[in-house]
Amino acid sequence: MLERFKQLLGEMNWGIYEKETEISLSLLAALAGESIILLGPPGVAKSMVARQLKTAFREAQSFEYLMSRFSTPDEIFGPVSIQKLKTSDTYERAVEGYLPTADVVFLDEIWKAGPAIQNTLLTVINEKIFRNGNREMHLPLKLLVAASNELPAKGEGLEALWDRFVIRIESRPIKLEKNFRAMLLEAPTDFLGPTDFTDSTDSSGSMGKFGFTDSTDFSDSTDFSDLKITAEEYAEWAEKICKIGVKEEVLDAISAIRKSLRTVNVDEAAERRNIYVSDRRWKNIVRLLRTSAFMQDREEVDICDLLPIYHCLWQEPEERDAIRNIVIRALFSPFADKLVEMKNALAEDIKYHRVRRNSEDGRDYEGEIETLSDGLTSLEKQLGENLFASADDKAEISAYLRDFYKELAFTRQDTMKLYEV
């Protein structure tokens, strides 16, 4: 399964620059049945992420729409059926071609939508249900990707909808100069990667009638159709994901992270923040962790699955890096606790002049240090191989471990004092 997802993500990322995190976490969210929001300025390929996600599923339908304060529910969920009103006096929407019939949905400028749209989206995202007249529709929705260049305004009742987007990612312009130049020199069709997507905007820049991509199923014209996820597989995997176990050490780490979020040091000069994460959100995060384990051929959620959850915990972008550091410390916390205990015991032995004649006398500090070092190396390797670890994540882990290995080296030097007469 892992190799299949690696290949699928490789194909989905082909020809798109520096969007690996957005695409991989969007696929994770889709398989977990969760939603994702991309925050960033216009023109950084946020809509491309949703379009690429459509290619992960066989015969998938997509819907996208650019919100404005004048957008109406008819434009998103379909117009009221005049025929139903005439023939049976029933108030129902003609939903074909609109959000209720789509597998992948992209809603741009989400916070500009009015209360009627936002309230309906709460049920759509949380329950995958759309109430159409006097009946409930179970939606085929696999992923809803929202986008905005701003955070939701405070005090306007947007907190509930904001909380529904379990994964939150800052989508940024191309960073590396070589990638930027390559993007400049590519033909427009090349930039779209292996699939020739047709934008759902017309030549004037406004959305097409339904917000759908062209009726041609481009997603099945590519050369990686055997990697695509079928509806049967999606349903089967959902059942398997529910059965994935969660190790006790993972629950311990989650509890430690939750506690640390009460006092997050975002800015040395500022007051520490208490970052609120709802119980529902934590529950959804565990669903993501189970999905991560499933995608990487594990029968239980492992500690290394926790790395990307910092994308689920911040309320404002400036909190992200501080929360990532909290998560990284939690991952290595057992090793840090062990080192502290060992250093304290070693200091006691040195203080009371417990001199050794050979390494077999007393506690085997040297062996414990080697075991600790091997454990750190092993976990670093596992984290580096995580399907959802970014280059920045790996760099932060390396920076954290540099200090850790220095402490180990100092401790190894201190053990020599045990042999001094």
DSSP characters over 307-369: GGGGGGT-SSGGGHHHHHHHHHHHHTHHHHHHHHHHHHHHHHHHHTT---SSTTSS--HHHHH
Strands 129-132 and 143-148, by their bridges, are: unpaired
The answer to whether residue 360 scores a pLDDT higher than 70 is: no
Same fold, 2-223 and 239-331: no
Backbone φ and ψ for 144, nearest 5 degrees, come out as -115, 120
d(C-alpha 364, C-alpha 372), whole Å: 12
Q: Where in the chain are the domains? A: 2-223, 239-331, 333-419
Among 1-15, 56-70, 184-198, 393-407, the range scoring the smallest mean pLDDT is: 184-198
pLDDT at 194 over 60: no
pTM: 0.82
Percentage of the residues of the chain whose pLDDT score is greater than 90: 44
How confident is residue 190, by pLDDT bands cut at 50, 70 and 90? very low
Structure-token pair, residue 156: 């306007």
| CATH code, 2-223 | 3.40.50.300
Average pLDDT over residues 83-99: 80
Mode of pairing for the β-strands spanning 135-138 and 129-132: antiparallel
Q: What is the pLDDT of residues 380-420, one digit of tens each?
A: 999 999 999 999 999 999 999 999 989 888 888 888 777 66
Helix %, strand %, coil % of the chain (to 5): 55, 10, 35
User: What is the rounded average pLDDT of the residues 23-44?
Assistant: 92
Q: Identify the DSSP state of 56.
A: T
What distance in Å separates the CA atoms of residue 16 and residue 193, rounded to the nearest whole number?
6
Give residue 223's pLDDT.
58
Instruction: Give me the amino acid identity at 240.
Output: K
CATH topology of domain 239-331: Helicase, Ruva Protein; domain 3 (1.10.8)
